[in-house]
Every structure is written in C-alpha cells, then in structure tokens.
C-alpha cells in the first residue's frame, strides 16, 4: 500500500516512516512532484490537517494523510497552538519561536504545556482523524541539539530531558506524532491488512 504524506519536512517524514514501518510505503509531496504551497488557513490543528489532506487528495487523486502539530502552553491560554510554526513571524524560524515563547513565560511559574498532533487521513474516499498528545512543561532555557522546532525547550512528563536531548528512538517512542501515527498505523492494519 502507498500513502502520500502531505509534507516535505524530512524530520517528520523520517519519524512517520520509522513508526509505520515498511508495511506501508510513505511518499512525500516531493515524491509526487507537488511543490505547491498549501495554505493553512484554519484556526484549529484539525482544520489545517484536513485542508492539506483534501488539497492533495483532490488535486492528485491519491490516498493521503496530513498532519498539523501545535505546542499548547497553559499559562499562555493555549498559545502558540495552531500558530506554533509562525509564532515569531512568517519566516517559521524555530530559534525565534523558542525565544519569543521563553520571553512570554518570563517570571511565570506555571510551565505546563502539551504537544498535540492531529492527522487527517483520506483513504478510499473516507476521512478519518487521529489525535496524539504528550504532556510536559517548558524549560527555562534550551537544552540539547537533537530534534527540531520546540524540542530543546519541551520536557515530556516523567523525564528530566528535553526532546532535543533524547535519541530519536526515545523521542519517537513517546511523542505526540508517534501517538497519532500509531493510531493511524493500527487503523490501516485493522482495515487493510
């Protein structure tokens, strides 16, 4: 079985391919020669995931899935949430995003946060949604050099390490994307094996 993952983010692609395994061939947008800038105009993660999946499904007539992920910080009323990638501006600069978030939490004792991933799957004309959440907290400074995005400042519950200090195997075994992708993988196994 082949599925198009509506992304060209190589980190996400590697993560998802590692979780799903070789039972399903996961193609990127690049693999289907799609270089369109798909607008993410919804105000929810679910909405953006559906926009991307529907766009690819309608334009290329392929079974596909898309995700949207947000970091939701309790003390900031769920910010940056759906705007996580563009929190510090349209350039989608991870360093600037982390700097802004840490600045906004200066003097704040409540550092509770969660990463949430929503995956929208369109297969054989049917739409299905999967949610993955990992709870944790925001550190006071960056820690570690692995991962991407907000990984250096996010410490998952039960750990003293940030995502960026963990091996990719360790992070992948507990991450929000892992949890959503595992649901996707189990669904595909049940329905199409």
Catalytic annotation, residues: 68
How many whole angstroms separate alpha carbon 171 and alpha carbon 156?
Answer: 9
How many whole angstroms separate alpha carbon 9 and alpha carbon 29?
Answer: 9
E strand or H helix that includes residue 163: none
Decide if 59 contacts 66 (C-beta within 8 A): no
- Contacts of residue 108, Cβ cutoff 8 Å, sequence gap at least 6: 75
Q: Which two tokens stand for residue 171?
A: 């992070």
How many whole angstroms separate alpha carbon 67 and alpha carbon 193?
Answer: 23
C-alpha distances in Å from residue 182, one per residue of 17, 81, 117, 133, 176: 11, 22, 12, 12, 10
How many whole angstroms separate alpha carbon 67 and alpha carbon 2?
Answer: 17
């Amino acid at each position: 079985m082949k599925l198009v993952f509506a992304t060209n983010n190589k980190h996400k692609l590697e993560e998802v391919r590692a979780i799903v395994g070789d039972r399903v061939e996961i193609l990127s947008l690049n693999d289907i020669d799609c270089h369109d800038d798909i607008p993410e105009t919804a105000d929810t993660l679910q909405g953006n995931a559906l926009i991307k999946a529907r766009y690819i499904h309608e334009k290329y007539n392929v079974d596909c899935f898309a995700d949207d992920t947000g970091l939701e910080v309790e003390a900031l009323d769920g910010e940056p949430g759906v705007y996580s990638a563009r929190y510090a501006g349209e350039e989608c600069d991870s360093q600037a995003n982390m700097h802004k978030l840490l600045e906004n939490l200066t003097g704040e004792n409540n550092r509770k946060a969660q990463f949430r991933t929503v995956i929208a799957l369109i297969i054989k004309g049917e739409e299905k949604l999967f949610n993955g959440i990992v709870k944790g907290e925001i550190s006071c400074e960056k820690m570690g050099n692995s991962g991407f995005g907000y990984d250096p400042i996010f410490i998952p519950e039960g750990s003293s390490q940030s995502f960026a200090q963990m091996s990719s195997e360790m992070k992948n075994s507990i991450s929000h994307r892992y949890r959503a992708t595992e649901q996707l993988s189990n669904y595909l196994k049940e329905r199409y094996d």
